[in-house]
Amino acid sequence: MNGAEDYLIGEHLTGGYGGANILHDCNIGVGRGEIAVIVGPNGAGKSTAMKAVFGMLNLREGSVRLDGKDITGLTPQARVAKGMSFVPQNHNVFTSMSVEENLEMGAFIRRDDFTDTLGQVFDLFPILKEKRRQAAGELSGGQRQQVAVGRALMTKPKVLMLDEPTAGVSPIVMNELFDRIIEVAKSGIAILMVEQNARQALRIADKGYVLVQGRNRYTDTGAALMANPEVRKAFLGG
């Protein structure tokens, strides 16, 4: 885990929404082409950690670095322009707009021709090409998630952040979605995601972060965490 510095790093993250801190000295990082997964029990601050990295939380301490440059002070919008992309857990598609328009909106900050990227997203999620004229609100849960991820990929990001991408979808769809995510990672994009389905997520993870009460409890490769008996017992149900 040492050697070259990770592409995206959140260090000593401490902060919360209102008065009390939810995160306490939390460290997270992910390199290019890697998949990093944050797991942990409910209320462990997993999503909060994501938001902290994306600038949607007031940090009291700590910093976020992207490609070695400090971006702690940037707004989420500015981070999008710097090549970060975020897929929220809920309300992550424009329900009244067609699939194609959703993807177009994803490419909003791009001034160049994005037909290539559109083609790549359609290659990655063929069903979206089929349903391109349909309103995103009419799609099934799994298809919506594909739209959401597709929208986030339209900026050609260097980092893709996913907040529980498999929440509420069937196991088959989940596996399918994970396959796609691996594919995305292979293209050199750094992927940071929060997952409820810890076992399946760690299986595909290069790095795993187990958070408990806003602190790092275990940090290791996905395989190592899967093999760690304590982690298995406490977080993976034996």
Compare residues 153 and 201 and give the one whose CB is closer to other proteins.
153
Q: Where are the beta strands (DSSP E) in the chain?
A: 8-15, 23-30, 35-39, 59-66, 69-70, 84-87, 159-163, 190-194, 207-212, 215-220
**Can you say whether the dihedral through the CA atoms of 151, 157, 163, 167 is positive or negative?**
positive
Please state the closest distance from residue 202 (CB atom) to other proteins, in A. 27
Q: Assign 3-class secondary structure to 23-61.
A: EEEEEEEECCCCEEEEECCCCCCHHHHHHHHHCCCCEEE
Please state the closest distance from residue 100 (CB atom) to other proteins, in A. 10
Please state the closest distance from residue 160 (CB atom) to other proteins, in A. 12
**Can you say whether the dihedral through the CA atoms of 200, 202, 203, 205 is positive or negative?**
positive
Compare residues 137 and 171 and give the one whose CB is closer to other proteins.
137
Compare residues 42 and 96 and give the one whose CB is closer to other proteins.
96
Compare residues 29 and 106 and give the one whose CB is closer to other proteins.
106
Please state the closest distance from residue 3 (CB atom) to other proteins, in A. 32
List 208's β-bridge partners, or say none.
37, 220
Please state the closest distance from residue 161 (CB atom) to other proteins, in A. 10
Compare residues 147 and 177 and give the one whose CB is closer to other proteins.
147
Where along the sequence are the contacts to other proteins (CB under 8 A)? 76-77, 80-81, 86, 88, 91-97, 101, 104-106, 108-109, 151, 155
Q: Where are the beta strands (DSSP E) in 124-230?
A: 159-163, 190-194, 207-212, 215-220
